[in-house]
Structures are given as C-alpha cells and as structure tokens.
Amino acid sequence: MIEIPKGFRFAGVSAGIKSRAGAKDVSLIVSDAPCVAAGVYTTNQIVAAPVVLSRVRTPSESMRGIVVNSGNANACTGSRGHDDAVEMTRVAASACGASAEQFLVMSTGVIGRFLPMDKVRHGIASASQALGSSEDFFLNAVDGIMTTDNGRKIASRSATNSVGNFNLLGMCKGAGMIGPKMATMLAIVVTDAPLDPVDAQRTLQGAANRSFNCISVEGHMSTNDSLVLLAARPTASNPALHGSDLCSFAGDLNELCIELAKKIPDDGEGATHLIEIHVRGANTDADADAIARSIALSNLVKTAITGGDPNWGRIVSAAGYAGVPIQPHRTALLLNKIPLFDKGEPLPFDPKQVSHSIRGSKLTVIELDVGLGPGRATHWTTDLNTEYVRFNSEYTT
Amino acid sequence: MIEIPKGFRFAGVSAGIKSRAGAKDVSLIVSDAPCVAAGVYTTNQIVAAPVVLSRVRTPSESMRGIVVNSGNANACTGSRGHDDAVEMTRVAASACGASAEQFLVMSTGVIGRFLPMDKVRHGIASASQALGSSEDFFLNAVDGIMTTDNGRKIASRSATNSVGNFNLLGMCKGAGMIGPKMATMLAIVVTDAPLDPVDAQRTLQGAANRSFNCISVEGHMSTNDSLVLLAARPTASNPALHGSDLCSFAGDLNELCIELAKKIPDDGEGATHLIEIHVRGANTDADADAIARSIALSNLVKTAITGGDPNWGRIVSAAGYAGVPIQPHRTALLLNKIPLFDKGEPLPFDPKQVSHSIRGSKLTVIELDVGLGPGRATHWTTDLNTEYVRFNSEYTT
C-alpha cells in the first residue's frame, strides 16, 4: 500500500505514440497548488528539447506539474522539437488551469524523430480528464513513462521529523542508454514536505550524486536524462524544513533515490546480474568514483560476471586505467567476499567456489581497495550478455 | 612473397603453455648484430612484469632480440613474475650469445597466473635451435604470439630513399582487451633501415599515435600492450637516416602501423563489422580524438551497426558526452556517405537504404563534423555482437 503525498494527482493514458496498441505513453503529475520544483539534468551537449525547456524552469516555487511522453525522445529535432515541447506544456497547463511556464516536460524514446503532435495533444487532454490521487492513478502515470523497462520502478518513504510526518514517493524509468555522472533517465519524486526551492535543488543534487550518478548499464549518456523533485510550497503555517529536519529529509531522499536508481541496472536490458562495486583506499571520493566507473564500464568485467568466470585480472586492470592514482602493490580485491588479489600478488583460490558464488545470486559484489587514502565510492551496473546485444541490435528497426 | 629485412631471424615453437596441443606459444625475433630498439607500452598502472622490464631497456642501440610467450600474460604476478620475466631474457640471450639486457620480453594471455617456467625455458631453447630468415620462419614467429586471433596479422613495406632501399616488416596480435590511447596489444616491426635510437623512439611514438592508439575493440586497456621497433644500428658506412630520408621513413612506418592496427578491430572477437570513424570540425586534433573515442566505445553505437540499424541518434549523443566542446547546431552526420543529420536537424532518409549499406559491407564509415574548428581524427573499432559476449563469458573457465 503506497502512501500518496498530499496535494498531488496522477494520470497515465495511451495516446498511440508507442507502436504497441494500448500501451500508455502520456503521463501527467499535477500539484493541486503551486509547488516547489528542483531538477537535475543530463550533462550531454546534445540535449533534447524537453530538457532545454525544463532546466530553465527549475528551481521554482510556482510549478503546477509535469507532462511526460514515452516512445519518442524529441531529441535532435531542432527548432520544431523545441516548439513541440513548449506546446506540450501549454496544452497540459491549459487543461489544469495553469500557465505554460508552470509545467515541466520530459520525453523518452527514440532520438531524431518529430513528435506526432496530434496524438500528443489528444493524449494530454485525455490524461487531464483521468487524474486521481490514489495508488491506481499513480501506477497509471508510472506505466506512461516506461519504455524498455520490464517492470515498474517505484519507491516510497515516510519521513518523520520535529514538525510532522511527510511522505516521499518516486518513480523512474530506464534500462538502456544509462551512463553515470549525470542524472540518468527519467525520475520524478513528489513529497508533501515543505521545502525552500534552493534547499530542494541542493538536496536533490546531493541525492543524485550518490544514486542516479552512480549507476550504469552501458555508460552511454542520454540526451534526455531528467530527475525532478516536486515538494510542497512553504507557507506561514507550514514553514520550510530547516536545520536538522532538513538534514533528516535529505537522508530520506538519498535513500529513496538510491533505492530507485538501483532498480535501473537491476532491470538493465538483458541483465542477469546486478553488480555492486565498492572502491576504497583512493586519495579522494572523486578518485574512488572514477575507479568504480572504469570497472563498471568494462565490457570484459561485465561478460566475465555473465559467465560466472573468476577472471579477476579484468577488474584490477580496469582500475589501472581509470586515470587516477592507485597503489598496485597495496591493492586488494574481493569478489563476493572471496579474496583473490592482495598486495600486488595473486592469491590461491578455488575457481569453482568463485564461479558458484556468481552463478548462485543475482547480486555480485566487487570490493577493491587501492591502498592510498580515505576515498570511497559505490557504483551499480549490469552484466553484459547476448540478450543486451540482441535487443540493442534491433531497437529502432 | 614477404621481403625479410636483412639481419633478422625468427622462430616460433610450441612449449605447451597454451592448452591446445601443438599450438605455438614461444617466439624469438633475433638480430644478428646489435640493433636499435624503440618501444611504446601500455599506460595502465597495473602493468605486467615483461612491460616493466622492456620499457627500461628501450630506446637502445645494442639490442639483440625479443622473446615472446603467448597463453599467459605474466601480469599481476608480483615479484615472482618479475623474476620470471628476467629469466626469460636471460635464457633467450644465453642461447644467442648475448647478455640478458640485450633482450626484450613480451607476454600475452590470461592475467594473474604464474608462468610455467620449465615449459618456458624449454620452449626458448627449442626456438633458439629453430631460427631462420625466410618467410616460413617469420610466420612461425607470428603464430607464436597469437592468442584469440583468427588469423595472422602482418604487413610489409619497402622504403626507398636517397641512400638506398630498405624493408619494413611487422606483426601484431590482438582481438580483445583492446582500448585506445596507448600502444595496444603486442606488435613488433623490424627494419634494416639504420636509425638513431632517439629518432627511432620519436618516429615509433608518432606512428603509434595515429595507428595503435586509434583502435579499440571494447576499450579495456591491457596490462601488456607493447609495440617495439627493431632497426639497423647506424655505422660509418651505413649512417642513420636524417632529414627528408627520415621523414620518408616515418611516413612508411605510419602506413605500416595503420595497416597492422586496422587488422585488430577487423578481427575483433566476434566482430562482423569494422567501423571507421572520421571526426572533423573539432577545436583541436586532440578534441576530435576524444569524440571519435567516445563514439567508438559506445556499446549502443556498436550494437546498432551489428543490427544494420540506422539509429543515428546514438552516434550524435555519444559525441555530446565526449567531454570536449561541440557545436550541436552546426553538427552534421553521414553514415556510409548518406546524410542523416545536419545543423541540429534530422534529415529525411530511407532507413532501408542505410540498413542495406551497413549489412552489405564489412566496413561501416561514420563521418561527423562538429562545426567548430580544424581538428580531425580517425578511429577504428568493431561492432558488438552476441559472439563477443559468448566468447568473453567463457575465456578463462
């Protein structure tokens, strides 16, 4: 049973953008009153029209909602794509009695095609007639943002602090074109906690750095990545969280974002393993992050895990070319808690035991200590198997 | 018919390091007289023992040869691995009447296992009895450096200049764990052209930058990459090339290295396509190189080519996250000469025509202009298909 934060309504409908008949592809997330909005977006220079539009509208304290379509990314579509994104916010806002600038817009799907705007307009109008605040409506909205996802990716938290009880509720989508170091994919978190817009933005960026920026499937940075937080607008009787209450909320938001983010590589296209990579002993957290990313992006590491293969040299060598210092003679590696390499020397181990530990669990845990300092980081990624290749060889055709 | 440069002998034998019975796995390349040697090596911090040893011995003007084993990388093997690499040069040199310091050593194969030194010693002794200077002996040496290669990778050039005619002859191996930005894999070029050691080193580094540093299979940088040039030692009667003769030789060496290097992604594990990526319009050549590498390393670009899929948004978006400036509104893309994207706008095209052009040829050519300046670069990589994944899921086990 999901607790829906007070003041938000949801809808998801089929507008015929996706080729599969009846598949939901337009969603609305609406705040009954003007609310606070924060956003973190892709750092790709090739950026989709909806991102260009949304990122200048956040942070804000007078937002009314988000309109989302799936099945078409509205990316690499030039000035016509920009006009279409503006039109989506105009139609959504008009149906909700708001102005266009009070809506954000997200799109996801194939790059380089113009939106079928007649279908989109009709879909937004239908969605605005189908808004509701119960779990079913929320799940409709979740369905409307999905593309190649195998299932819904949602998470919720209740946050209690000195001023009361609040709820956080999040959804995200994504299974491919997932690269670290940005807000990856589409994600929306709504909360009835009152937040100052600047605090909302800072808190959301902090949560993104430890969650959505630490996941990958194949490391390809999307043109459309968007993570948006909608929160209650503070009033005299419901003032913005601050001090320890704000810290406590930030902790809850971090946890929620990590829970959501891990669902993406866990559902990576064709993935049979979720790989969790812990790096410690780097000079700084940023260095540890670079090492974890280098390991996470290695196809040779990923295929070794697919095959249950204790080919640990691939992991250590990927750390060696991350572009940040490591201390080879003080480096140690554990795979699923089994020590394989220590102080620059290979350790005797039972290959069957390691192989069995990989094959026997969806989760594989890599722990690497590079022997230098206090820096640490955690990343999550998928293995790489033939299903991923088959799937991505046939995505647009 | 291969022209063998004067003064070099070759051998390749089976020492039982590889599991397949009779597979050649120890090679010797010997110069009858002390010769000039230059080397370019992996920039990975996790570096194999043979690389540690060879890189301090180049450049040199008193080298006598190279001993190579395949089937075991002698990487991540600590001090015992270092002792084993030294021993390999000692045994090879002793059999050739040279001192250990006059030999270089290369190893390639699985990481993290100790060399079976009894087999290695015996193999080097056998190879020293099997040296010869005709094509057959050269091809034996080529066979002895191969691992997952589907065929021999060799190239030759004759170089004519104001002081005479010289021959260049090269071999390389590599089909996986191939990442750009270093001398990738094992490669050996021998020439009877007389070169000053400093010129040899500078010329070899220049050739590496435009050849072996511009190729990738999956982008995983090896611990063992070594490219070595052996050249005649200049004498009073056979002085070192200089001026325009040296420039002309450098041009021949560039061409030879590019021809050799392209054979690696062309034979990439499981590859069905060789992808040639031309980037122009970047601020600098280094920026163009970064963009070409970002495209070359994208699994989504590679799987699209595998599938003959005109999903060009993947190419443009990979350029957008290369970490160097591009001008999206002045970017243009051609795939196999067919214009797909121009000035930030998608162009109408026939998907069947693009798909047909990809499926109908081993070579796919991507041309991207990012609209800023004079910088240009060319990279070569493979597609990514299910065979690569199958192969690399099962490599050590």
| Structural domains of chain B ordered from first start | 8-264 (3.60.70.12), 274-393 (3.10.20.340)
**Sign of CA pseudo-dihedral B323, B326, B331, B332:** negative
CA-based nearest distance B278→chain A, Å:
19
Contact criterion met (CB < 8 Å) for A314 and B343: no
pLDDT at B182 exceeding the cut of 50: no
Quick one: tokens of B105?
């050593």
- Helix and strand numbers (H, E) in chain B are 11, 14
Q: Please give the average per-residue pLDDT across A261-283, as a whole number.
A: 89
Q: Please give the average per-residue pLDDT across B319-335, as a whole number.
A: 91
Q: Position B195: which residue type?
A: L
pLDDT, position A278: 96
Radius of gyration of chain B from Cα atoms?
22
User: Taking a C-beta distance cutoff of 8 angstroms, is the pair A226, A183 a contact?
Assistant: yes
User: Taking a C-beta distance cutoff of 8 angstroms, is the pair A275, A383 a contact?
Assistant: yes
Q: Please give the average per-residue pLDDT across B210-221, as a whole number.
A: 80
Check residues A13 and B220 and name the one with the higher pLDDT: A13
pLDDT at B109 exceeding the cut of 80: yes
> Residue B392: its chain A contacts at CB < 8 A?
299-300, 303-304, 307
What would the pLDDT profile of B82-99 be if each residue is shown by its tens digit? 999 999 999 999 999 999
The chain-wide mean pLDDT, for chain B, equals: 90
User: Model pTM?
Assistant: 0.82
Q: In angstroms, rounded to a whole number, what is the distance separating the alpha carbons of residues B300 and B311?
A: 9
Name which of B121, B38, B122 is nearest B84 in CA terms: B121
Among all residues of chain A, which has the CA nearest to that of B324? Answer: A45
Q: In angstroms, rounded to a whole number, what is the distance separating the alpha carbons of residues A47 and B327?
A: 12
Q: In angstroms, rounded to a whole number, what is the distance separating the alpha carbons of residues A129 and A145?
A: 18
User: Taking a C-beta distance cutoff of 8 angstroms, is the pair A77, A114 a contact?
Assistant: yes
pLDDT, position B15: 97
- Choose the mutation target among A41, A43, A44, A46 for the interface with B, i.e. most B CBs under 10 Å: A46
Look at the block and give the residue holding tokens 């139609």: A91
pLDDT at B177 exceeding the cut of 70: yes
pLDDT at B178 exceeding the cut of 80: no
Contact criterion met (CB < 8 Å) for A73 and B313: yes
Q: Which of the residue ranges A176-185, B4-13, B169-178 has the most confident prediction, judged by mean pLDDT?
A: B4-13
- Choose the mutation target among B41, B42, B46 for the interface with A, i.e. most A CBs under 10 Å: B46
Name which of B122, B125, B135, B227 is nearest B172 in CA terms: B227
Closest residue to B44, CB basis, from A304, A317, A393? A317
Residue A28, Ramachandran bin (φ over 0: left; ψ between -120 and 50: alpha; else beta): beta
pLDDT at B334 exceeding the cut of 60: yes
**Cα-flanking dihedrals φ and ψ of residue A165, to 5°?**
-110, 135
> Residue A328: its chain B contacts at CB < 8 A?
45-47
Name which of A340, A294, A313, A293 is nearest B46 in CA terms: A313
Q: Please give the average per-residue pLDDT across A232-236, as a whole number.
A: 93
- Choose the mutation target among B42, B287, B303 for the interface with A, i.e. most A CBs under 10 Å: B303
Q: In angstroms, rounded to a whole number, what is the distance separating the alpha carbons of residues B254 and A126?
A: 63
The chain-wide mean pLDDT, for chain A, equals: 90
Q: Please give the average per-residue pLDDT across A85-96, as a whole number.
A: 97
pLDDT, position B396: 58
**Which residues of A are catalytically annotated?**
184
Q: In angstroms, rounded to a whole number, what is the distance separating the alpha carbons of residues A253 and B49?
A: 48
pLDDT, position A161: 83
Check residues A112 and B332 and name the one with the higher pLDDT: B332
pLDDT, position B352: 94
> ω before A339 within 30° of 0 (cis)?
no
Q: In angstroms, rounded to a whole number, what is the distance separating the alpha carbons of residues A52 and A41?
A: 9
Closest residue to A392, CB basis, from B218, B300, B394? B300
Whole-number Cα distances in Å, B204 to B38, B45, B182, B199: 7, 22, 12, 8
Share of chain A above pLDDT 90, in %: 65
pLDDT, position A182: 47
Closest residue to B303, CB basis, from A73, A306, A389? A389
Look at the block and give the residue holding tokens 């509104």: B329
Q: Position A216: which residue type?
A: S
For the complex shown, is ipTM > 0.85? no
pLDDT at A217 exceeding the cut of 70: yes
pLDDT at A288 exceeding the cut of 90: yes
Q: In angstroms, rounded to a whole number, what is the distance separating the alpha carbons of residues A214 and A181?
A: 7
Q: In angstroms, rounded to a whole number, what is the distance separating the alpha carbons of residues B370 and B283?
A: 9
Q: Please give the average per-residue pLDDT across A259-287, as a whole number.
A: 90
Q: Please give the average per-residue pLDDT across A13-29, as a whole number.
A: 95
pLDDT, position B241: 93
pLDDT at A180 exceeding the cut of 70: no
pLDDT band at B43 (very low <50, low <70, confident <90, very high): confident
Cα angle value B290/B293/B295 (rounded, 5°): 115
Please name the residues in contact with B350: beta carbons below 8 A apart, sequence gap of 6 or more. Answer: none
Please name the residues in contact with A7: beta carbons below 8 A apart, sequence gap of 6 or more. Answer: A31, A32, A33, A35, A192, A232
Q: Please give the average per-residue pLDDT across B176-181, as a whole number.
A: 64
pLDDT, position B395: 60
Closest residue to B320, CB basis, from A45, A384, A393? A45
Three-class secondary structure assignment of chain A: CCCCCCCEEEEEECCCCCCCCCCCCEEEEEEEEEEEEEEEECCCCCCCHHHHHHHCCCCEEEEEEEEEEECECCCCCHHHHHHHHHHHHHHHHHHCCCCHHHEEEEEECCCCCCCCHHHHHHHHHHHHCCCECCHHHHHHHHHHHCCCCCCCEEEEEEEEECCEEEEEEEEEECCCCCCCCCCCCEEEEEEEEECCHHHHHHHHHHHHHHCHHHECCCCCCCCCCEEEEEEECCCCCCCCCCHHHHHHHHHHHHHHHHHHHHHHHHCCCCCCCEEEEEEEEECCHHHHHHHHHHHHCCHHHHHHHHCCCCCCHHHHHHHHCCCCCCCHHHCEEEECCEEEEECCEECCCCHHHHHHHHHCCCEEEEEEECCCCCEEEEEEEECCCHHHHHHHHCCCC
Q: In angstroms, rounded to a whole number, what is the distance separating the alpha carbons of residues B330 and B52?
A: 46
> Per DSSP, what are the bridge partners of residue A103?
A65
pLDDT, position A179: 64
Of the ranges A232-236, A292-296, A388-392, B57-61, which one carries the lowest mean pLDDT score? A388-392
Say whether B252 sits in a helix, a strand or coil: helix
pLDDT band at B179 (very low <50, low <70, confident <90, very high): low
Q: Please give the average per-residue pLDDT across B60-66, as a whole number.
A: 94
> Per DSSP, what are the bridge partners of residue B231?
B36, B191
pLDDT, position A395: 60
